[in-house]
């Protein structure tokens, strides 16, 4: 074999070897776009709250108002939360709320029962002042009977000094 034939043969074998070793790429079909979920309820254009907003709206999902030690006055940082819930009550006249007042373990049982009620009444008054109806609100005091934290520390006691906003009718 002459030299040019050898070079041609080596070149062809090299190309064939490289072609055999090349990575095979499978073409994958383009993924289909995810279907958009159908709305479960018509979206209100007038800015009114609907029942689904209790689970989706960041303000309405906040349903605990905390109090300082031995106090029943509403703290300024909770005014916005109360305003959101009052607007919900105005937008949804059939809705009902139970305000569950709580206290920490310090003090007598009777004192803490009264303190829980005063705290619930403070949130009740703030809701009514912001437009909620008295017929939509109920106050219940649990005093120290239902703590969320049972340690005897200040941070734990602070978690127990609260009013929980519980929707009984949406």
Q: What is the token pair recorded at 159?
A: 């978690």
Distances (CA, A) of 71 to 61, 62, 165: 24, 21, 18
119-142 pLDDT per residue, tens: 999 999 999 999 999 999 999 999
> Residue 40: which pLDDT band, with cuts at 50, 70 and 90?
very low
What is the domain partition of the chain in residue ranges? Answer: 53-169
Angle among Cα 150, 152, 157 to the nearest 5 degrees reads 75
CA distance 95 to 89: 6
Least confident of 23-32, 37-46, 75-84, 130-139: 37-46
- Other Cβ atoms less than 10 A from the Cβ of 151: the count is 11
Q: Is a pLDDT exceeding 90 seen at residue 4?
A: no
Q: Which residue has the higher pLDDT, 21 or 105?
A: 105
Q: Which CATH class is domain 53-169?
A: alpha beta
């Amino acid at each position: 074999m002459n030299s040019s034939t050898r070079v041609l043969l080596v070149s062809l074998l090299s190309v064939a070897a490289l072609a055999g070793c090349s990575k095979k790429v499978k073409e994958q079909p383009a993924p289909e776009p995810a279907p958009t979920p159908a709305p479960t309820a018509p979206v209100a254009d007038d800015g009114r709250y609907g029942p689904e907003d209790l689970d989706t709206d960041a303000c309405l999902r906040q349903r605990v108002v905390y109090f300082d030690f031995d106090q029943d006055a509403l703290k300024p940082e909770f005014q916005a939360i109360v305003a959101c819930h009052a607007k919900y009550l105005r937008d949804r006249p059939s809705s009902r709320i139970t305000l569950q007042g709580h206290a920490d373990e310090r003090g007598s049982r009777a004192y803490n029962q009264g303190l829980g009620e005063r705290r619930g009444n403070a949130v009740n008054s703030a809701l009514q002042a912001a437009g909620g109806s008295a017929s939509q609100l109920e106050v219940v005091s649990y005093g120290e009977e239902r703590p969320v934290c049972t340690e005897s520390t200040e941070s734990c006691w602070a978690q127990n000094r609260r009013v929980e906003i519980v929707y009984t009718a949406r």
